Amino acid sequence: MAATESASAGTNDHLITSSDPEHPANHICTLCRSFYNLGWVGGTGGGTSIKRGPHIFIAPSGVQKELMQPHNIFVLEHANRSYLRKPLELKPSACTPLFLAAFDRGAGCCIHTHSQWAVLVTLLVEQEAHAKGEDPMGKCFEIEKIEQIKGIPKGRGKSGMLGFFDKLVVPIIENTAHEEDLTQSLEEAMEKYPDTYAVLVRRHGVYVWGDNVQKAKTQAESMDYLFRLAVEMKRLGLPWVA
């Protein structure tokens, strides 16, 4: 519970110390534990970040998600991207620039998963494009007329959730050798699809965000439900779009 104002490594513990379970440093840990149990962040893949006021809290790279502790958490100043807290023995999350792309656009929480269902839908979209002799680049995951679509909001600046008769469109970007190199195509997808709350990454997973933790988490759940349902539908010869 030391309170220091120094920005050197491992200090500024006050930034991550709280008895409030919804303090970002605590909340990231409970979320990571849930996501691990869902199979989204095994093998240290994936990540979670939360913005509160001027600060962004991010789970580090390489730490077992189900064992995450508040003292593992990195803290950034959003405005100037500088680290206020940087545990020396850990590596910052490679997702950091991607999370920042979401926070720059008003998100309050951003979640990255390696869900197999996300990976599989990107492969199925690619497979279908090839089967039609088309280029998969730029093709989105699309699904309509499933009630769970109503778990996704209409879009930034729009009021309410998608309707049962709306089509959910989630852009897919191609994976790169290094996570940070996804930033440009992630931002382009966010610009091209301004109403989206998620971007799929081919053969990699998905980034999902929301105005706050509760929205990002529930939207991530609805997205993953739809990805899994889409895989089951494909296996049974059921089309995603009529």
CA distances from 70 to 16, 19, 45, 50, 122 (A): 6, 11, 18, 13, 33
Beta-bridge partners for 47: 112
11/3 Cα distance (integer angstroms)? 8
Which residues are catalytic, by number?
147
Nearer to a second copy, 15 or 182 (CB): 182
3-state helix, strand, coil in the chain (%, to 5): 40, 20, 40
Q: Determine the interface stretch with a second copy among 3-11, 70-78, 184-192, 211-219 (rule: CB under 8 A).
A: 211-219
Please work out the total of residues on this chain that contact a second copy, with binding judged by CB under 8 A.
Answer: 47
Q: Which of 45, 87, 97, 155 binds a second copy (CB under 8 A)?
A: 45
Nearer to a second copy, 55 or 155 (CB): 155
> Minimal distance in Å, beta carbon 140 to a second copy?
19
Q: Which of 151, 153, 171, 210 binds a second copy (CB under 8 A)?
A: 151
Q: Which of 164, 180, 192, 212 binds a second copy (CB under 8 A)?
A: 164
3-class secondary-structure state, position 68: coil
50/20 Cα distance (integer angstroms)? 15
Residue 148 touching a second copy (CB under 8 A): yes
Q: Do 45 and 95 contact (CB within 8 A), yes or no?
A: no
94/125 Cα distance (integer angstroms)? 26
Q: Which residues carry a binding-site annotation for substrate?
A: 95
Give the interface with a second copy as residue ranges (CB under 8 A).
39, 42-45, 64, 114, 116, 119-120, 123-124, 127, 145-148, 150-151, 163-165, 175-177, 201, 203-205, 214, 217-219, 221-222, 224-225, 228-229, 231-238
